[in-house]
A and B are shown apart, each in its own frame.
Chain A
Amino acid sequence: MILDTLTIVLLAAGFFFFFATTIGLLRFPGFYARMHAAGKGDTLSSLLMLAGLIVFNSHHFSVEALLVDLKIAFIMVFILMASPTATHAIIKAGYEAGLVQWQAEEEGKHDLAD
């Protein structure tokens, strides 16, 4: 019962952050703001959902379940390291390609919005 609740809470939180990420990716102005939403939200929501799966998987404790839990935990570590690095790589490439930061109205309006 407690495990079920925890699973639901984690998965729902993961879903919420994924949803927020998607909205941010679509609605934020400018390249950097969009990548910011994608990088942070994506990592957090994946971690939350995988944590939810670990909790769901440990309903009946056994060695096999523990093995699967460990594998999911390894995937979490991988995502924790790889996802922010990938975001960094994309943003760095954008910065070095000369993308200017988005400013409200006055200058540099169009080159970022698409």
Chain B
Amino acid sequence: MIWQIDLIVLALLVPCAMAAIALKDMMSAAITFGAYSFLMCLLWTEMGAVDVAFTEAAVGAGISTVLFIAAVHHSRRRVAKRRVGRIVFKLLGLSAAGAIGIILLWAASDFPEWASPDIPPSRHLSPYYITKTLEDTAVPNIVTSVLADYRGFDTMFETSVIFAAGMAVAMVLRRRRGREERTGRRVENGFARESPIIQTICRLLAPFMQLFALYVVAHGHHSPGGGFQGGVILGASFILLALAYDLDFVLKRLNEKWTLILANVGVLIYASIGALALLLGGNFLDYSVLSRILPATTPVMARSHGMLGVEIGVAITVMAIMVLIYANIASNGKYDKGL
């Protein structure tokens, strides 16, 4: 904690947040929101929450900015002029919001100090994780073990939420009926987009991005990272190619059917590892009993390996859903050449 850095970041963060809401041009708002996410990522790093910062950088500053821009392309760029309401209603709304704000601030004063050692989580929960994680699970990164083992049930449903979100986007936007309806047309945005420089560099960087993503997934036990971050980076490598070339280029390699299959497979891997533990006589998602079928593992190491399996499932789902959401938003559900 260096409070000077906190102060500088917060001084930039608050105007960014306000600008992202207030801007009338949606494209500028999307970019400002990306800047906000990046500053948030710096703040998380400053607070020592490196895993969260990693996610924020990959999801908030990376993919969601691209998704916002793709969505803006398919809608109006400027906010419609709102009909001005009566001043009485405005004042009423303002006073209601202000009153709630004051009540919340008042309630916040009853909260304990940030990271205070007296609060119940710091007295019972955190010390247990900090002292026991390594002997329980042989995983040095406490965040990974809490996420994938101690609270594995939560993470399973987080993965399902991502899966459901992707399905919802596909169901709302998808308009593809058959082969004949594909127009094969790029979305008109006024530019001829092909540039050999951009395409070559993106093509060159994509395999390394994917390699790095696999490293993030596999190395999540020892360093910041894990299934979510790795999956998002994997998805981003496909989205980068889709931006540099066109959507067809990516869909030829990972078509819609496969994104759907992979999204299912990822959640299934997670749930079936849990069910396997159940079959072997343990609790659901209790990986330690997996040592009975994994050769040459102690129950402690089995928990570590179980986490790895679960993280791989998460990564597969997240990657497939990211590509699916991008393909739907960028082509407005038509699966033509996209942005």
Residues of A within 8 A of B (CB): 78, 81-82, 85, 88-89, 92-93, 96-97
Chain B interface, number of residues (Cβ within 8 angstroms): 11
Residues from chain B with a CB closer than 8 A to the CB of A78 are 205, 208
CB nearest to B212 among chain A residues: A74
Also in contact, A96 and B197, with CB within 8 A (given A78-B205, A81-B205): no
In the complex, the answer to whether B191 meets A96 with C-beta atoms within 8 Å is yes
CB nearest to A98 among chain B residues: B190
Residues from chain A with a CB closer than 8 A to the CB of B198 are 85, 88-89, 92
B75 contacts the other chain (Cβ, under 8 Å)? no
Q: Which of B190, B191, B195, B201 makes the CB contact (< 8 A) with A81?
A: B201
Min Cβ gap B267→A in Å is 32
C-alpha gap A27/B204 in the complex (Å): 35
In the complex, the answer to whether B191 meets A97 with C-beta atoms within 8 Å is yes
B192 contacts the other chain (Cβ, under 8 Å)? yes
C-alpha gap A103/B162 in the complex (Å): 51
Residues from chain B with a CB closer than 8 A to the CB of A92 are 191, 195, 198
Residues from chain B with a CB closer than 8 A to the CB of A97 are 190-191
Extra A-B contacts (4), CB below 8 Å, given A92-B191, A97-B191: A81-B205, A88-B198, A89-B195, A97-B190
Min Cβ gap B34→A in Å is 13
The 10 A-B pairs of least Cβ separation, nearest first, read A96-B191, A85-B201, A89-B198, A88-B197, A81-B201, A92-B195, A85-B198, A93-B191, A85-B197, A96-B192
In the complex, the answer to whether A82 meets B205 with C-beta atoms within 8 Å is yes
CB nearest to B204 among chain A residues: A81
C-alpha gap A69/B197 in the complex (Å): 29
Within 181-228 of B, Cβ neighbours of A (below 8 Å) are at 190-192, 195, 197-198, 201-202, 204-205, 208
Residues from chain B with a CB closer than 8 A to the CB of A82 are 201, 205
C-alpha gap A93/B69 in the complex (Å): 15
Q: What total of A-B pairs shows CB separation below 8 Å?
A: 25
Interface SS of chain B: helix
Residues from chain B with a CB closer than 8 A to the CB of A85 are 197-198, 201-202
Q: Which of A88, A89, A96 makes the CB contact (< 8 A) with B190?
A: A96
CB nearest to B197 among chain A residues: A88
Min Cβ gap A35→B in Å is 15
In the complex, the answer to whether A88 meets B205 with C-beta atoms within 8 Å is no
C-alpha gap A85/B198 in the complex (Å): 6
C-alpha gap A92/B194 in the complex (Å): 10
Residues from chain A with a CB closer than 8 A to the CB of B195 are 88-89, 92
Residues from chain A with a CB closer than 8 A to the CB of B192 are 96
CB nearest to B195 among chain A residues: A92
Min Cβ gap B338→A in Å is 16
From A78, A81, A85, A93, name the one whose CB has the most chain B CB atoms within 10 angstroms.
A85
Residues from chain A with a CB closer than 8 A to the CB of B197 are 85, 88
Min Cβ gap A70→B in Å is 13
Min Cβ gap B113→A in Å is 34
Min Cβ gap B242→A in Å is 14
Residues from chain B with a CB closer than 8 A to the CB of A81 are 201, 204-205
C-alpha gap A97/B208 in the complex (Å): 32
CB nearest to B243 among chain A residues: A89
CB nearest to B200 among chain A residues: A85
C-alpha gap A93/B192 in the complex (Å): 9
Residues from chain B with a CB closer than 8 A to the CB of A96 are 190-192
Can you list 7 residue pairs at the A/B interface with Cβ under 8 Å?
A82-B201, A85-B201, A88-B197, A89-B195, A92-B191, A92-B195, A92-B198
CB nearest to A96 among chain B residues: B191
C-alpha gap A78/B204 in the complex (Å): 11
